[in-house]
Amino acid sequence: MNKHNVSVSVQDLSLSFGTLTILKQLNLDIQEGEFLVLLGPSGCGKSTLLNCIAGLLDITEGRIFIKGKNVTWAEPKDRGIGMVFQSYALYPQMTVERNLSFGLRVSGMDKAEIDKRVARAADILQIQPLLHRKPGQLSGGQRQRVAIGRALVRNVDVFLFDEPLSNLDAQLRAELRVEIKKLHHSLGNTMIYVTHDQIEAMTLADRIAVMKGGVIQQLDAPHEIYNRPVNRFVAGFLGSPAMTFLDGTITAANGGPAVNINGTVVPLGRYGFAGAAPEAGRPVTLGVRPEHIAVGGASPEPEADRRHWVTDKVTLLEPTGADTIVWSELGGLPITVRVDAEKHFHVGEPFAYGLDLTRASLFDKASGDRL
């Protein structure tokens, strides 16, 4: 990693309130112009980390650099950051124009320059007609645009987003998500974005940091996080419907490793182990995403078919519109399969499905780590 291109660097950051530790020895380097998403369930410390980067929380240990400058103890305004909040946090008694210019006014900038910057931000965000309104007269989407504008006028290096779309309805959320992505493309700023929504994370991020319990579990490109989760938590947190987890034990079959799930043996010959293949008898969990399971029977050339085929019964159907989720069983454990909605199945019928083990995940049952 080229040190010159690091925009935000968090080094050994810890934060605790009394005996309660929120963040533990956290390290994170964010590249210039990168869109990094901090993803995790509520209480995982993602918003806390963002507040530490913003300078709104005093950290217990560690250092924070922005653009190579040590800002660990700098005031928020001196860090070159702009922040967008979930509740918009617009000043209710000020017009949109005065909301945008507030930060510039308190810094004592001259009027002409303020007007120029406000006009530019209003132009980028298409909020010129709203400039003389008060926040109370705006819709949720318009308010969030103004909130983004407030960061924009200050010409900051880094944008920090704290769950900016969580208060909006689903349709507006999808629209603004696209707008934020476009904004990132056109501005090219570094952006750090906190969310608990995996769709937002997958669509927006260059890299995702999945957090749990104040620790970054995995920091990687969305595709990697999705396909090669480092542990069971990451695997289960991303994906909807969720990954199916099947508990079993390692056995040897036909000379290669396999996993025995309540008597059903699934060979792991095609699975890419992270290290050496685990020894027989080890308890493991096999994770399979519903979309990585094929239906319709084995290919005519079994040699070319890299799947492992299982036949069981349909136990439940969940039509979602574009797809149907078929519930079946493997070794008595429930498994979900995503199929095209045009294919019709019926509860109780025999159901053949093929597991793609090259795209499956195998975890140690005790530690949850990827094998």
Partner 1 sequence: MSVTSVEPSGARPRRLSPSRFMIYAGLFVAAVYYLLPLYVMVVTSLKGMPEIRLGNIFSPPMEITFQPWVTAWDSACTGLYCEGLKVGFWNSMKILIPSVIVSIAIASVNGYALSNWKFKGSEVFFTILIIGSFIPYQVMLYPLVIIMRELGIFGTLTAIIVVHTIFGMPILTLLFRNYFAALPVELFKAARVDGAGFWQIFLQVLAPMSLPIFVVAVILQVTGIWNDFLFGVIFAGTENYPMTVQLNNIVNATQGVKEYNVNMAATILTGAVPLIIYFLSGRYFVRGIAAGAVKG
Residues of this chain that bind partner 1 (CB under 8 A): 51, 54-56, 75-77, 81-83, 85-87, 89-93, 102-103, 106-107, 147, 150, 154
- Whole-angstrom Cα distance, residue 163 to residue 26? 21
Dihedral of CA atoms 74, 15, 44, 50 in degrees, nearest 10, equals 0
> What's the min distance (Å) between Cβ of 148 and partner 1?
12
> What's the min distance (Å) between Cβ of 87 and partner 1?
5
> What's the min distance (Å) between Cβ of 35 and partner 1?
20
> What's the min distance (Å) between Cβ of 5 and partner 1?
25
Strand-pairing partners, residue 191, are 35, 159
The closest of 294, 319, 323, 322 to 309, measured between CA atoms, is 294
Complex with partner 1: residue 89 or 333, whichever CB lies closer: 89
Complex with partner 1: residue 91 or 273, whichever CB lies closer: 91
> What's the min distance (Å) between Cβ of 81 and partner 1?
7
DSSP tag of 205: -
CA atoms within 13 A on the CB side of 164: 34
The closest of 195, 135, 138, 136 to 165, measured between CA atoms, is 195
Give the type of residue at 219.
L
> What's the min distance (Å) between Cβ of 70 and partner 1?
19
What residues contact 202, with CB distance under 8 A and at least 6 apart?
208, 222, 226, 238
> What's the min distance (Å) between Cβ of 52 and partner 1?
12
With beta carbons less than 8 A apart as the criterion, state whether 30 and 9 touch. yes
DSSP tag of 369: B
Complex with partner 1: residue 74 or 252, whichever CB lies closer: 74
Complex with partner 1: residue 76 or 269, whichever CB lies closer: 76
Complex with partner 1: residue 83 or 225, whichever CB lies closer: 83
Token pair for 181: 């992505």
> What's the min distance (Å) between Cβ of 54 and partner 1?
6
Complex with partner 1: residue 167 or 299, whichever CB lies closer: 167
- Whole-angstrom Cα distance, residue 312 to residue 354? 11
DSSP helix/strand/coil, 212: strand
Complex with partner 1: residue 99 or 361, whichever CB lies closer: 99
Complex with partner 1: residue 77 or 313, whichever CB lies closer: 77
Secondary-structure breakdown of the chain: helix, strand, coil percentages, each rounded to the nearest 5: 25, 35, 35
Please count the other Cβ atoms lying within 10 Å of the Cβ belonging to residue 33.
14
